[in-house]
Amino acid sequence: MNLKIAILAGDGIGPEIMKQGVAVLDAIAEKFNHKFEYKEAICGAHAIDAVGDPYPDSTHQVCMEADAVLFAAVGDLRFDNDPTARIRPETGLLAMRKKLGLYANVRPVATFDCLLHKSPLKEDLLRGADFVVIRELTGGMYFGEKHQDNDMAFDTNIYTRPEIERILKVAFEMAQKRRKHLTVVDKANVLASSRLWRQIAKEMESQYPDVTTDYMFIDNASMRVLTEPRFFDVIVTENTFGDILTDETSCITGSMGLQPSSSLGEHTPLFEPVHGSWPQAAGKNIANPLAQILSAAMLLEHFGLEKEGRLIRDAVDASLEANVRTPEIQVEGGAHYGTKEVGEWIVDYIRKV
Ligand code: IPM
Ligand code: MN
């Protein structure tokens, strides 16, 4: 298969983990006779410095012309410490989501048996937990009308029927492909926007008779994902709730550095780690490249390259089993492996099997 892949490495640890992600894709291309053509483009703080725009038109063009985008992370301490800055790396991220129409953010939550002890939760409660959070990504409070003056501020949580229908369709279909259990997470006891979500989900239920659908308030869901993670199969929720819930669910996996995601929608699909740019670690060769590498696996699986995705996942499992791990998940007394060494081990594994 020929794939044109836009490479947006961004800021902080982005370039380091991206290098490993691309190396893994290259190893797969060689082994399975695919041709992956990469085109790099700037974004984030990086792009603000270069052209004054965190998601410049030139980058958008590269994304639009590609079959897929592999994204790493954006963000920089200079902006984190200045909440008044008008142009910020994150505004570029939101512009990118909006312009590419990436309304469905898919964040899988899975455990690795050998890392269960890394989670702050009890091991026997986590074992076997395996679910997906589908977060609406281009609507709600993030994009609704806003106002701020000295005495008053508001954000509008607006959702239209077509926006809700299309994300629920993704969620129902995902549930059909998995264990056929969908949980719609909302705050329908208080919010009008949530009541519309719930109404539309109930209307759509009859189109998916094989799926068991239940409804949960976000406050309750944020407790249940921690106390009963195995209950869930597919969760669908609005932008803001999904943002909060997926940071929470990342502690199920044991490290933010292990969580990949995909964002799908109207134009080019995008694949990125859930973690951020971790500027403090940039250049230190300590960041975990696995979320980036697993995002590359999700990219391949999106195009039906199941065997290829499987091989990457097997390689990642094998690296963890072999204790080839970055410091935050290394066992006590385990050898030191950096971003680069973990990536290289995985590339070697792919070449050899
Ligand atoms: C995420 C991030 C972003 C979000 C930030 C960086 C704007 O937290 O992708 O979850 O809130 O969506
Ligand atoms: Mn977030």
Tell me the per-residue pLDDT of 12-47, one tens digit each, with 9 for 90 and over: 999 999 999 999 999 999 999 999 999 999 999 999
CA 248 vs. chain centroid, Å, equals: 13
Whole-number pLDDT of residue 131: 98
219 is known as an active-site residue: yes
Residue 119 contacts residue 251 (beta carbons within 8 Å): yes
Rounded to the nearest angstrom, the distance between the alpha carbon of 243 and the centre of ligand 1 is 7
Q: Residue 208: how many CB atoms within 10 A of its CB?
A: 18
For residue 75, the ligand 1 atom closest to its alpha carbon is 6
Query: For 253-264, how does the pLDDT look when each residue is reduced to its tens digit (9 = 90+)?
Result: 888 889 999 999
* Helix H or strand E segment including 293: helix 290-302
142 is known as an active-site residue: yes
Helices (H), 54-187: 57-65, 77-80, 89-99, 123-126, 161-177
Return the biggest CA–CA distance within the chain: 64
Tell me what the pLDDT averaged over the chain comes to: 96
Mutate to test the pocket of ligand 1, among 55, 90, 97, 98 (most ligand atoms within 8 A of CB): 90
Sign of CA dihedral 3, 293, 42, 108: positive
Determine the average pLDDT of the residues in 78-100.
89
Say how far apart CA 154 and CA 104 lie, in whole Å.
Answer: 25
Query: For 217-247, how does the pLDDT look when each residue is reduced to its tens digit (9 = 90+)?
Result: 999 999 999 999 999 999 999 999 999 999 8
Q: Which ligand is nearest to the CA of 142?
A: 1
Residue 60 contacts residue 99 (beta carbons within 8 Å): yes
Residue 270 contacts residue 262 (beta carbons within 8 Å): yes
The catalytic residue among 55, 76, 118, 142 is 142
Q: Residue 187: how many CB atoms within 10 A of its CB?
A: 21
What pLDDT band is residue 86 in, cutting at 50, 70 and 90? confident
Q: Residue 240: how many CB atoms within 10 A of its CB?
A: 18
Place of tokens 């979500």: 197
243 is known as an active-site residue: yes
187 is known as an active-site residue: yes
Place of tokens 């312009």: 99
Give residue ranges with CB within 6 A of ligand 1: 90, 93, 243
Tell whether the model's pLDDT for residue 83 goes beyond 80. Answer: no
349 is known as an active-site residue: no
Rounded to the nearest angstrom, the distance between the alpha carbon of 176 and the centre of ligand 2 is 27
CA dihedral of residues 246, 250, 256, 261 (deg, nearest 10): -50
Least confident of 82-86, 120-124, 306-310: 82-86
For residue 105, the ligand 1 atom closest to its alpha carbon is 9
Q: Which two tokens stand for residue 251?
A: 């502690």
The catalytic residue among 53, 76, 187, 233 is 187
Whole-number pLDDT of residue 150: 95
**Backbone phi, psi, residue 106, to 5°:** -105, 115
Q: Which ligand is nearest to the CA of 274?
A: 1
Which residue's alpha carbon is at the smallest distance from atom 4 of ligand 1?
243
| Total residues found in the chain within this entry | 353
Tell whether the model's pLDDT for residue 55 goes beyond 90. Answer: yes
Determine the average pLDDT of the residues in 314-333.
94
CA dihedral of residues 8, 288, 280, 43 (deg, nearest 10): 10
Whole-number pLDDT of residue 251: 87
How many CA atoms within 13 Å lie on the side-chain side of 56?
Answer: 17
